Amino acid sequence: MPILSILLIALGLAMDAFAVSITSGISIKNLKARHALLIGAAFGLFQAMMPLLGWWLGQWTTQWISTVDYWIAFGLLLFVGGHMIIQAMQPNDDEHPKNPLHLPTLLALAVATSIDAFAIGISLSMLRVSILTPVVIIGLVTFVLSFAGVYCGRLFGHLNEKKMEVAGGLVLIGLGTQMLLEHLIEHHEMFAGSQTVWFAFGLTLAAGLATGIGSLITLFARQTAKRRFSFFLGISTGLLLWTAFRQLMPIAIIDLGGLKTPTIAFFGGVLISALINRLVPDFGNPHKPHRIEELQPDPDFRRTGMPAALAIVAHSFPEGLAIFVAALHTPAPIAIGAAVALALHNIPEGIATALPMYHATGSRAKACGFSALTGLAEPLGALIAYTLFHRFMSGFALGALTAAAAGVMVFIALDGLLPAARVYGKYQHAICGVLTGMLAAAGLGML
């Protein structure tokens, strides 16, 4: 790994320690150089030890996870960076440490600010990077920034340490994305010569980005268009149900030579979707529709809303996989219809996913940006599945995936429409939409 990349990782990781050092400098009376040296040494030592431990653990497990190591490395960098950004946007329970020079307090702060480095150590192991140079650089950078942070806190107050943490998180996410892209480019043969694959990714991306439409509505609208939302959700439901039962399931039955295996795969897709949906908190669940009028800032939801972010992103993975498989294994008009259905379904989801962020920050613009970004989880889920299983996406495996995709679509349709009909209260509009969607899907199937 280039020294510049290691240095950027070290800077990103050190932002937590830098922020805590600033608040420590504010709270220390009669600050002396030895105080700054003690804090810098403690933070630097633990920040160097943690990646070493993570690297050792990664070396021990690499023989079992070598086929997915690059995705694990990307996921850990994404998680650490996202965690730093989310933490920076949350309010502090205790603005200043009680006594950062008290040994138990200092050790607790050192461990807390270095936990992220443990995950980075695992990532470096997955990337087969020698650990000695990163450990030295990470430790030294953290020491220098922590030492300087103590004096910055004393001289300049808070110095926007929250923005520093956000910058560090963005650096780590950017590096993880760069490493993943480099790996995919190196193994470009899995994408070469297949326009169908690119078509499938394009449809999945378009459907996911429709979440941004819902977030834009959140940004500019002040009232919920209940009739329109009910009607369009009905169209989405009709398209998904017809595509699942009349298009995907017959193809899966032919591929698998019978009804038993497709039925098992179908209900497997339903079960997986239901389990993921169960893991998402009710507050912030994309399948729990909300009215725009509910977007009122409430500090009580800051703690419950922000942790829902990762669960909401994971929630979108099966949706992206369903559209991707449909595009791979059905005629183009049917796949386009399924993508349109999911796009319509994602519009009210954009409002639902914006709700936790708006409660956390009181900013419609931040809520809009967060909601739009969650839509990228759908093409990301498709990309993960394809890169891991592209060798098996034919014959029996593709037939089973097609039946599972049908199950995912049915769950999405029912779990999205029924709560929306209750929240919006426009049942007749929803039923008209379902029939219109079925008619549209039937027409696409005849093209």
**Pair 225, 78 in one domain:** no
**Pair 176, 288 in one domain:** no
Structural domains of the chain, count: 2
Residue ending a domain, among 169, 186, 203, is: 186
Return the H-helix or E-strand segment holding 351: helix 332-361
pLDDT at 300: 47
**pLDDT category, 19, cuts 50, 70, 90?**
confident
Measured CA to CA, the distance from residue 441 to residue 295 in angstroms comes to 34
- Residue 254 belongs to domain spanning: 192-445
Angle 96-98-99 from CA coordinates, rounded to 5°: 115
pLDDT at 305: 45
**Pair 172, 234 in one domain:** no
Measured CA to CA, the distance from residue 65 to residue 72 in angstroms comes to 9
**Pair 230, 323 in one domain:** yes
Residues near 262 by beta carbon (within 8 Å), at least 6 away in sequence:
249, 252, 253, 256, 399, 400, 403
**Pair 107, 205 in one domain:** no
Q: Which residue has the higher pLDDT, 170 or 287?
A: 170
Percent of the chain with pLDDT over 70: 73
Other Cβ atoms less than 10 A from the Cβ of 188: the count is 8
**Which of 340, 335, 332, 321 has the alpha carbon at shortest distance from 213?**
340
Residues 314-370: tens digit of each pLDDT: 777 788 888 888 887 788 888 888 888 888 888 777 777 776 666 666 667 777 777
Q: 172 and 84 in contact (C-beta within 8 Å)?
A: yes
Start-to-end CA distance of the chain, whole Å, equals 52
Mean pLDDT of the chain: 76
pLDDT at 303: 47
Residues 215-238: tens digit of each pLDDT: 777 666 667 677 877 888 888 888
Rg for the chain, CA atoms, rounded: 25
Residue ending a domain, among 186, 212, 243, is: 186
Q: Which residue has the higher pLDDT, 131 or 194?
A: 131
**Pair 112, 256 in one domain:** no
**pLDDT category, 265, cuts 50, 70, 90?**
very high
**Pair 327, 346 in one domain:** yes
**Which of 248, 143, 234, 154 has the alpha carbon at shortest distance from 438?**
234
**Pair 241, 353 in one domain:** yes
* Helical pair 3-27 and 103-126, crossing angle rounded to 10 deg: 170
Q: 145 and 18 in contact (C-beta within 8 Å)?
A: yes
| Burial (CB count <10 Å: 0-12, 13-18, 19+), residue 167 | middle
Measured CA to CA, the distance from residue 361 to residue 356 in angstroms comes to 9
Average pLDDT of the segment spanning 275-304: 60
**Pair 41, 132 in one domain:** yes
Q: Which residue has the higher pLDDT, 57 or 333?
A: 333
**Which of 290, 410, 392 has the alpha carbon at shortest distance from 341?**
410
CA distances from 3 to 48, 133, 137, 141, 167 (A): 16, 9, 9, 13, 19
**Pair 9, 30 in one domain:** yes
**Pair 255, 290 in one domain:** yes
Other Cβ atoms less than 10 A from the Cβ of 44: the count is 24
For 233-320, list the strands marked E by DSSP: none
pLDDT at 263: 93
Residues near 428 by beta carbon (within 8 Å), at least 6 away in sequence:
none
Q: 121 and 137 in contact (C-beta within 8 Å)?
A: no
**Pair 35, 167 in one domain:** yes
- Tracing tokens 């969650």 back to the chain, one arrives at 374
- The secondary structure of the chain in percent helix, strand, coil, rounded to multiples of 5, reads 85, 0, 15
Residue ending a domain, among 143, 170, 186, is: 186
